[in-house]
Amino acid sequence: MNKKHFWIWMVIIAVLSFFTGEMVTFMMLLLILLTLNETNTILKKFYDDWKKEN
């Protein structure tokens, strides 16, 4: 998932959570998704470096 699609989905979820009153749930979901996205990016960099060595 690229960053543009990620932020589009975050805006959609933020609007829905605002109208349903679930702002805390949105903040927790945002934190989890940002962490997973960063972990995925780091793992891709490690994989690319590993492939270059072999």
User: What is the DSSP-derived secondary structure letter of residue 33?
Assistant: H
Is residue 48 over pLDDT 60?
yes
pLDDT tens-place string over residues 8-22: 888 888 888 888 888
Q: Can you give the pLDDT at residue 1?
A: 57
Label residue 49 by pLDDT band (50, 70, 90).
Answer: very high
> Could you tell me which of 40, 9, 39, 10 has the C-alpha nearest to residue 27?
10
- Tokens representing residue 53 in the block: 């060595």
Averaged confidence pLDDT in the chain:
87
Question: By three-state DSSP, how is residue 54 classified?
Answer: coil
The whole-model pTM stands at 0.66
